[in-house]
Chains A and B, each alone.
Chain A
């Protein structure tokens, strides 16, 4: 929340005003402390006439929308007038005015608790300081954030908070990024009057991810509100009262949520910290790299914190359109998988069945030789779940040059066609789901397939009581839903109109249908898609000029880009007749049909499933070590940024393929990543528009009517184990612990 910088700013401003108070320019630099000079009208006009001085910018990008021009009210924060919509709190008004109010319990995305009292400000005509987070701003209110009363109130609250807070900052993992530390520096006193003994609280066991040191808790209840409001697990509570108050579950219970790691971020003190990260590093030793996550198709925005060559932790980054400020536990804790079971050298399987490390030159030569011996139609290429667009482009180009067009991406199935982007994207967009008032989930379990999408749906359901219908095997939901059926036939019944949910769908203003990518593996994919097509023809509200409610929820990071690039198998019988298989990080491809004498090249970063059948291994890099383009399920293109150096002799995927193409004598025409990107520009120009969501041009799935009948086979569970879905997470010890707990349940 930037309170660290807040503290330093406060310190800086106080020292600068002391030292430089003779210089009027410095007095005009506005930080959270408003100098008395600024209250004078002359000072204000002077500020206005000097445009090069920093403008008062809203804190943390606070935005104001005026839904209704009549609802605008004006309040004064330290004498500055600000216009805000009705219903904002005093604290929000202050942040729009550029004044950051210290806080512990208030959090933008949680309900207001008002129990820490750190946000006290003075309001003219109010006899006592008011808790700004819980006080609605009223027209004409004169808010004062920097008066002696406000300062004294904060100091007093701080003294109370520190009363029972242990002095264990040197052994606390939150040290350096602790709101309490920062704010006590900025607003606290240099001594306390408490001479009694401090209380101690028993630590709770919240599972393998969250470490608790409950004595440090300041009872802000953010974690309790997060668990019940965002994560939807009613496990945590505030027990006891007065000085005996504790956070806990009362009965022995683990917090079983796929979002539980976020309590680490929202806990303002070191009461809830990351267990795997405990005592590993100090936050100021870490280098932050802003990148994206690839463990699912959502592309959550993350920051990889690394020290030297090692990834130390992963934390979320704010992106209102995708993950808000949360990430799933898989995203956050898979990082130890980046270091384990890595392939670091090119290897060739010898006659004895063992792998022998060889040089790149030898490995490439062997593969090139084999490639020249097979017929072009016997060559198959499979891109893995985690592949970036650049490597998929080069794989396709390379195999095309070798005469084969049998290249696909894991998870996209045989029956999908990629002609229309709207047929495989989340057309409503993730943030757009918030406008939906009726959901129909078909063959998808968003809670494990795309946690952040599920969090959006839950948010919507909580806010608007939107109806949720679900067709698929029984599964866990953390919001109210109707389980309508398990087979595609239910969908047909809804289309016929003799299902109770048809009425809900037709009366909804913005209905959203979400189809899981799991259906791509079914025989009747085309029939289901055409059913949905007729559904959108019948329910006119599904697709209107403003609203597109037909969505496909993809499973893997590579899927959308692969379809954009046209990685579609040419023939149905790819594997049975293959003599040469190029697995680019593909670990979940079924190789049972593969003839015994086929030659398999595995290019990947982990010694995972794909390695078992491989004849040659090319080591490549993981997402934290390379620059790569990914497109998420809603069609938003984002890039990863290398955070740490790669291990051993591993190389980036596209470079390996480029090198191989040269050895094979079909040199690919690009030598740099920008070269690959200009090639991508010809195929899928949208993949170059980074951080933009490119909506599909045509809406609807536009499938020919009557492409077969849907079968009565029930929809399957696509993600069996949320914690282990790809090579990285399968290599992770932390994820293994979580899966063990999952299995125990």
Chain B
């Protein structure tokens, strides 16, 4: 009886999926909802045929995987362990340089810088075979490198566009409307998250707090348009214009999604829109309309009244 109820509920939810325009986030949430609901129902109805229950369950899990929620690698023609990959001649001395920073019996310490180097060499993302190559260099099993590469969100394990747009998803930015910005970007470019546009120019990803919360929300553009050789992940090297910050102003919330589209369009035209705050009234992270505090020389701290003690 309960089993039938469960399957009826399941059908309803499935139908709901078909109708609504799906965004990944809402879909996966809904999926979670379904699966936990299913579990709940199953746990209540002992007569629910157990294989039936898990079948439906694994259906959903397949779906989840389809929408790119899983960490597991999926072979594609351009990204599978059989694609040969090696550090190129220019990077080979760099590999040795990086290895020389660590004691020879702790080679595996070099795994992060080497993965970074490999990512730069490969146009901003890491194919499986590059991870395997790194594993060979640091002499560990490949899985130990996969663990590291999947842990850090800055290692892209799927192809990225020439401009990789990273929307900050951490709390301050989220409160200041980063979700809308992401939606605007995705809608404008017509892609899903972590998908590359047809022209290969753009991809949208998420990143964690970059310390620009004062100008929240913000996005980062990883710019590979000058080729991967000159690319560096060190975003403090702003004069190289390799990476730009586009913090949006607090006060123009309603126009931010518009502004982000403008930036994308400018990039498409090959322009380099100015980085930093996009609120013309602000300078860097200062408040709009000029400073409100610390207007003069700050007063020195008062001296303790020694006589009083």
Residues of A participating in the B interface, judged by any CB pair closer than 8 Å: 166-171, 197-204, 213, 215, 228, 234-241, 244, 246, 248-252, 279
Contacts and interface: CB of A to CB of B under 8 A. Distances in A.
Contacts of B29: 197
Contacts of B110: none
Given A234-B141, A241-B151, 19 more contacts: A167-B40, A167-B43, A170-B50, A171-B48, A171-B54, A197-B33, A200-B60, A201-B61, A202-B70, A237-B143, A237-B144, A237-B147, A246-B70, A249-B143, A250-B142, A250-B146, A251-B73, A251-B81, A251-B128
A249 B81 CA distance: 13
A286 B124 CA distance: 56
A169 B151 contact: no
Top 10 closest pairs, chain A to chain B, by CB: A234-B141, A197-B32, A250-B146, A237-B143, A240-B71, A239-B150, A237-B147, A198-B36, A239-B71, A202-B70
B53 A171 contact: yes
B20 interface: no
B39 A239 contact: no
A601 B277 CA distance: 93
B96 interface: no
A170 B39 CA distance: 9
B64 interface: yes
Interface residues of B, number: 40
A239 B72 contact: yes
A250 B146 CA distance: 7
Chief secondary structure at chain A's binding surface: loop
B189 to A, nearest CB: 24
Contacts of A167: 36, 39-40, 43
A241 B71 CA distance: 10
Given A237-B143, A239-B147, A168 B71 contact: no
B46 interface: yes
Given A250-B150, A279-B51, A244 B143 contact: no
Contacts of B147: 237-239
A711 B144 CA distance: 45
Interface of B: 29, 31-33, 35-36, 39-40, 42-43, 46, 48, 50-51, 53-54, 58, 60-62, 64-65, 69-73, 75, 81, 128, 140-144, 146-147, 150-152
Nearest to A169: B43
B31 A200 contact: yes
Nearest to A165: B39
20 contacts: A166-B39, A170-B42, A170-B46, A171-B53, A171-B54, A197-B33, A198-B32, A199-B32, A204-B72, A213-B54, A228-B141, A238-B147, A239-B71, A240-B150, A250-B72, A250-B128, A251-B75, A251-B142, A252-B73, A279-B51
A241 B152 CA distance: 8
Chief secondary structure at chain B's binding surface: helix
B150 A202 contact: no
A520 B2 CA distance: 64
B75 to A, nearest CB: 7
B39 A250 contact: no
A197 B36 contact: yes
Contacts of A213: 54
Nearest to A199: B32
B281 to A, nearest CB: 37
Contacts of B151: 239-241
Given A234-B141, A251-B128, A252-B75, A200 B58 contact: no
Nearest to B58: A203
Contacts of A238: 147
Contacts of B70: 201-202, 246
Contacts of A246: 70-72
Contacts of B40: 167
Contacts of B65: 202
A87 B254 CA distance: 62
Nearest to B46: A170
B106 to A, nearest CB: 16
Nearest to A279: B50
Contacts of A166: 35-36, 39
A446 to B, nearest CB: 22
B36 A244 contact: no
Contacts of A171: 42-43, 48, 50, 53-54
A123 B127 CA distance: 47
A233 to B, nearest CB: 9
A202 B146 contact: no
A213 to B, nearest CB: 8
